[in-house]
Chain A
Amino acid sequence: MEYIPLYLIFIPIISSMIIYLFNLRIINYLIFITQATISVLMIKYFLFINKNPQFASITIGGWDKRIGIELKNDVYSIAFIFLTIFIWTIVSIYCFDKRKNDAKFLFFLLFLEGAFLALLQTNDLFNLFVLIEIISIISTILIIFKKDGFAVRAGLYYLLFNSIGSIFYLLGMIIIYNIFGTLNIDVIKHHIHLIDNDLIIHAAFILMMSAIGVKSALFPVFTWLPKAHGAAPSSISALLSGLIVKSGLYVMIKVDHLFNLYTFKEYFFILGFFSAIIGILFALSQKDIKQILAYHTISQIGIILMGLSTINQITFYGGLYHIINHALFKSLLFLGAGMIIRTYNIRRVTEIRGVFKTMPLTSIFIIVGMLSITGAPFFNGFISKSLIVHGLKEQTFIYFLFFIINIGTATSFIKFSQIFFGKSKLKGQATINEKIALFILSIACITLGLHFNYFNQYLFHVESPVVILDLYNIMTYFITIIIGFILYQTIIKKDYLVFKKIRHMHITFETTNYLLVLYIFTMILWSFKAL
């Protein structure tokens, strides 16, 4: 019973190999059996851990903790594992209609799930590095699955840039190994306060954080994300934007808890704010559906970073909760956008009209996703954004800047919602599988919005003493929508030259590496100010 973490990792990998070897259509149904098995095992393991918490960590092979690989499950990883299995099930329901006979696609999809579940549970620094590289390689192969020009060049950019980022992680790990002699996160966390030499610890922290910045698309190094997420197939876009970018944030939470430095928290708060603003600015000037959604991912990750890098407990839990919510509604929006693109055969928002009449059921689900991302009451975006703002209420300047970000999001989605009006002559081609997938996701969004107290107590073991659903927040939301509508009508509808220039701006590969070096340099300068 206590070896279930190992089963969780190896069952998807072995079933993916079986699917690839047999290459028959009947064996492809094994993907659903795998998902059902994993979810049952995870629920049993969760109830088992709650009763006896001393079995939460096991070492592979029975070696001692300091020299072996340890798998540990704490509060954060259990929540993430549930989210992972849920979203993978929905993506496999969505794309099963088209990929019934495609054994290679299902092979890579299941293998990626196994590697991702291993990343969430491991407690060893070098194992983390190997798994990050494996996830990069397999996501590249899934991005270039369509094999046309856009996908191949986006995939090459993604692969090379992420590999360069991972080498910086390796450099940071070398420094830590030479000081401590072990690579286990718990043992290092226990002994790190005994080190006198602040300079070397700061150097290791800076190198590791630069790799994490590349992986989770923070401000100067985010340029790979719109290209990769815009060129991938729709189901893979949903998976990438919902989960794999969040793996960078998960590693960041672990490294933050390992080092416990107070000097860099303000730096990451400012960085998160710049990410949010730049994401909104780029999203307002795009016309392609998938690029708009990809730039919104960047800005929401900025908001999550603003929540995660404070000392206030409530804001921290708001940031964590926003990771889960963002995975749900962003997958909903990407999957819906995939269905729209398949029916209409064009990708520009200004030319697609009449979605509500051609596909009524799909458009209801997409409207649920849009209300969640802008933060409407009774949906889950409202909860997490209010939790983040609640800790920042004392500093009115930052509260005002947060308000501006919300207005930007609302404006952009009002521009997005123009696709629902008007008439169109096409017939909707949505299959039953896809509608079921979108339906389950929207039910999850609404449930998490209404019963968040229950989830907080059960999953995170935290009591939330704040009252969120009061009149002030609801009024704020409606004012945001009204100001966003006014902004859209006056400024965005006429396509000014500034927006055209921003839309066609492109940063080449050499400049992106130069920005990465600049990012490391600013972190070094910031640490001098604090030392």
Chain B
Amino acid sequence: MVIIANLIQVLLIAISISIVFSKDNTRVVVFLASFSLLSACLYFLNKAPDVALAEVAIGSAIMPLFYILSISKQREFIVMSHVDDDYLKNEKNQKGKGYLLLENFTDYYKLKLYIFNDAEKAELKGIFRKSNVDLIIEKDESTNTYFLIGKQSSILMNKLAQLVENDDKTIVVKVKESETRD
């Protein structure tokens, strides 16, 4: 019995070294789940079955779920559009000009693109704080230019500004949220 426990502990040390030195985030989550399961076995061999129950339920089932949910939410790019013409059309033959631009942009950073169409213009002040929107697309009717409004603090906006440099029909606007409210 003691030999099995010592072997499991050495295996735990090996898994922890590979967690610290790995570079991919999905691998780290899988290793963490197996680490938790093996440590639950070890708690049982140390004559503490109630701790083993708690560790299996929390560390092996719920914690990897939290990690995978949050990692998948960190790969999204949420766009809310206030225009209703075919700038963002996603049909099979022809895609709108804006859609091609955004697709090029998100492929570079390996993000997933979500577009919401909100025809009525909701209140824009403070919307970056209330919800997780990354980009807002508006259209100026008189001059026929498209405004892409994003946050100044995000470093992804720099790449987007670089992509629309040659096109003078689209302008990238960076909004700075002031921090002085109490």
Q: Chain A residues in contact with chain B, CB under 8 A? A: 98, 146-150, 231, 233-234, 338, 341-342, 345-347
Contact = CB atoms under 8 A, between A and B. Distances in A.
Contacts of B177: 148-149
Interface residues of B, number: 9
25 contacts: A98-B182, A146-B129, A146-B181, A147-B129, A147-B130, A148-B129, A148-B177, A148-B179, A149-B153, A149-B177, A149-B179, A150-B179, A231-B179, A233-B182, A234-B182, A338-B182, A341-B180, A341-B182, A342-B181, A342-B182, A345-B178, A345-B180, A346-B180, A347-B179, A347-B180
Contacts of B178: 345
Nearest to B180: A345
Contacts of B182: 98, 233-234, 338, 341-342
A147 B181 CA distance: 11
Chain A CB within 10 Å, residue with most, of B177, B178, B180 = B180
Interface in B123-182: 129-130, 153, 177-182
Nearest to B178: A345
Contacts of A347: 179-180
B178 to A, nearest CB: 8
Given A146-B129, A341-B182, 5 more contacts: A147-B130, A148-B177, A149-B153, A231-B179, A342-B181
Contacts of B181: 146, 342
B125 to A, nearest CB: 13
B101 to A, nearest CB: 26
Kindly list the 6 A-B residue pairs having the minimum CB-CB distance in the complex, ordered from nearest.
Answer: A147-B129, A345-B180, A342-B182, A149-B153, A234-B182, A150-B179
A347 B181 CA distance: 10
B4 to A, nearest CB: 25
B96 to A, nearest CB: 31
Nearest to A347: B180
B22 to A, nearest CB: 17
A148 B129 CA distance: 6
A338 B153 CA distance: 25
A437 to B, nearest CB: 14
Contacts of A147: 129-130
A147 B182 CA distance: 11
Contacts of A150: 179
A254 B153 CA distance: 45
A341 B179 CA distance: 11
Contacts of A345: 178, 180
Contacts of B180: 341, 345-347
A335 to B, nearest CB: 11
A147 to B, nearest CB: 5
A231 B177 CA distance: 14
A22 to B, nearest CB: 24
Contacts of B129: 146-148
A233 to B, nearest CB: 6
A233 B180 CA distance: 10
A149 B181 CA distance: 13
A345 B153 CA distance: 20
B70 to A, nearest CB: 13
Interface in B102-130: 129-130
Contacts of A148: 129, 177, 179
Nearest to A237: B182
A341 B178 CA distance: 12
A104 B180 CA distance: 22
A521 to B, nearest CB: 20
Nearest to B177: A148
Nearest to A151: B179
A342 B179 CA distance: 11
Chain A CB within 10 Å, residue with most, of B129, B178, B179, B180 = B179
A144 to B, nearest CB: 11
Chain B CB within 10 Å, residue with most, of A146, A148, A231, A234 = A148
A156 to B, nearest CB: 13
Nearest to A234: B182
A237 to B, nearest CB: 10
A474 to B, nearest CB: 38
Nearest to B181: A146
A509 B180 CA distance: 25
A420 B177 CA distance: 28
A338 B130 CA distance: 23
Nearest to A147: B129
A148 B130 CA distance: 9
Nearest to B152: A149
A92 B115 CA distance: 43
Contacts of B153: 149
Contacts of A231: 179
A149 B151 CA distance: 11
Contacts of A98: 182
Contacts of A342: 181-182
B155 to A, nearest CB: 12
A513 to B, nearest CB: 13
A170 to B, nearest CB: 15
A229 to B, nearest CB: 14
A228 to B, nearest CB: 14
Nearest to B179: A150
B176 to A, nearest CB: 10
